[in-house]
């Protein structure tokens, strides 16, 4: 985060050759210059994760109040150093207003760390060592999730990209359905994390994935922050706590129903079906063929989004206790039925492509689970209060 803040604050690093070398003279050039609304929001948001991470780090060694105070102080000192450095950058306007906003963002992040810690303490983390079973399907699912969030995989390192990524937050609008979609996806990711790492490391791993996705979207071309996803992330930990209190079988059944609903909403909303039947295209990847196999014609975000959703449905059904073959059949059936229903949706293009994508994902997952038995929830497992 410190590297990201320094990059975003000092880019393009065109330092003045005749700048003041005296530190006191540089401090005297700091003014209370007013910033626009977008810059004010950016200054707060950029320091939020820094305050959050600083608090979590300090709270392992110090008391809560002291950790908040010290995190805010360290963030303020970093901001002061950045503002002084901006005196020597031609295109920058050093400002005490930015310093106050950065300090406020650090404080808000530290308060968020307090809330995170308080909620995480509601989860029982046993001190005994346990033998963790690595789930290869969970690793593949997390990989598909990261591919979806990082597509089209073109990094862009400039200040304009950082501002463009933050711009949707200046006037945020929240769609209730979109928030539920992102929340469901992150709950599936949380479940996949639980299948890969030990109980004592699950919250940290989930936090690392959240940070990777958010920072990645700051640096990937054509991607921005989505207000609905950020709101979903704020709701994620309380939802994890709530699902943690449920018994394993109802919890996994709820996740299966949520993923099925998510697929239906993504493919069929707003459900304005027509009596006229459109043509079903049996030629797969027609747009790619018509473009002369130009890979730039592929919508990579949409492609990996579908792959993740199909993989998520197969994986949560298997987590519920079904065999890999049964989960494969459920996923392929849902994907095919949903695609066929698009024949009656005006403006949609029903094609064999999506069922083939589902088939591909299913075959990959099936090969991973070829020599593994399905999960079975016994009476002892039903009383388990793990994060899974």
Segment 103-126 mean pLDDT: 81
Read off the tokens for 129: 């060592």
What is the overall mean pLDDT for the chain? Answer: 82
| Spatial separation of the C-alpha atoms in residues 142 and 163, rounded to whole Å | 28
Q: Is the CB of residue 144 less than 8 Å from the CB of residue 307?
A: yes
DSSP 66: H
Q: Would you tell me how many other CB atoms lie within 10 Å of the CB of residue 303? A: 16
pLDDT tens, residue by residue, 241-279: 888 777 888 888 999 999 999 999 988 888 888 888 877
Task: Name the 3-class secondary structure at 317.
Answer: helix
| Spatial separation of the C-alpha atoms in residues 193 and 146, rounded to whole Å | 13
Q: 37 pLDDT exceeds 80? A: no
| Spatial separation of the C-alpha atoms in residues 58 and 36, rounded to whole Å | 33
Q: ∠ CA(369), CA(336), CA(187), 5° rounding?
A: 55
Q: Would you tell me how many other CB atoms lie within 10 Å of the CB of residue 162? A: 20
| Window from 196-205, 265-274, 312-321, 367-376 with minimum mean pLDDT | 367-376
What per-residue confidence (pLDDT) applies to 371?
64
Give the chain's largest Cα–Cα span: 77
Read off the tokens for 46: 């950029």
Task: Name the 3-class secondary structure at 342.
Answer: helix
pLDDT tens, residue by residue, 115-174: 888 877 766 554 444 455 678 999 999 999 999 999 888 888 777 777 778 778 777 778
């Amino acid at each position: 985060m410190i590297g990201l803040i320094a990059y975003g604050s000092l880019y393009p690093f065109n330092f003045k050759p005749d700048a003041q070398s005296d530190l006191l003279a540089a401090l005297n050039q700091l003014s209370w210059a007013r910033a626009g609304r977008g810059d004010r929001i950016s200054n707060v948001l950029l320091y939020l994760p820094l305050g959050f991470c600083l608090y979590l780090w300090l709270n392992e060694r110090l008391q809560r109040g002291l950790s908040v105070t010290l995190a805010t102080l360290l963030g303020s000192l970093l901001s002061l150093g950045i503002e002084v450095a901006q005196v020597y950058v031609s295109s920058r306007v050093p400002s005490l207003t930015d310093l106050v906003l950065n300090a406020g963002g650090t404080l808000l992040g530290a308060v968020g760390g307090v809330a995170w810690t308080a909620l995480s303490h509601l989860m029982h983390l046993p001190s005994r060592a346990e033998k963790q079973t690595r789930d290869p399907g969970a690793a593949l699912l997390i990989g598909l999730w990261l591919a979806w969030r990082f597509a089209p995989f073109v990094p862009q390192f400039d200040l304009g990209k950082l501002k463009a990524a933050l711009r949707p937050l200046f006037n945020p609008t929240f769609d209730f359905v979109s928030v539920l979609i992102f929340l469901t996806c992150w709950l599936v990711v949380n479940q996949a994390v639980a299948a890969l790492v030990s109980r004592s490391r699950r919250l940290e791993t989930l936090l690392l994935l959240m940070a990777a996705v958010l920072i990645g979207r700051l640096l990937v071309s054509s991607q921005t922050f989505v207000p609905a996803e950020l709101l979903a992330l704020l709701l994620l930990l309380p939802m994890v706590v709530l699902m943690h209190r449920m018994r394993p079988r109802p919890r996994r059944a709820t996740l299966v129903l949520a993923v099925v609903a998510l697929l239906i909403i993504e493919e069929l909303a707003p459900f304005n079906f027509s009596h006229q039947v459109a043509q079903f295209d049996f030629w797969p990847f027609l747009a790619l063929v018509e473009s002369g196999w130009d890979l730039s014609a592929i919508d990579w975000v949409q492609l990996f989004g579908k792959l993740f959703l199909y993989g998520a449905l197969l994986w949560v059904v298997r987590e519920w206790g079904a065999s890999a073959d049964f989960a494969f059949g459920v996923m392929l059936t849902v994907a095919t039925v949903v695609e066929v229903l698009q024949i009656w949706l005006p403006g949609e293009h029903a094609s064999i492509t999506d069922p083939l994508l589902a088939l591909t994902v299913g075959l990959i997952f099936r090969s991973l689970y070829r020599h593994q038995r399905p999960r079975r929830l016994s009476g002892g497992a039903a009383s388990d209060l793990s994060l899974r």
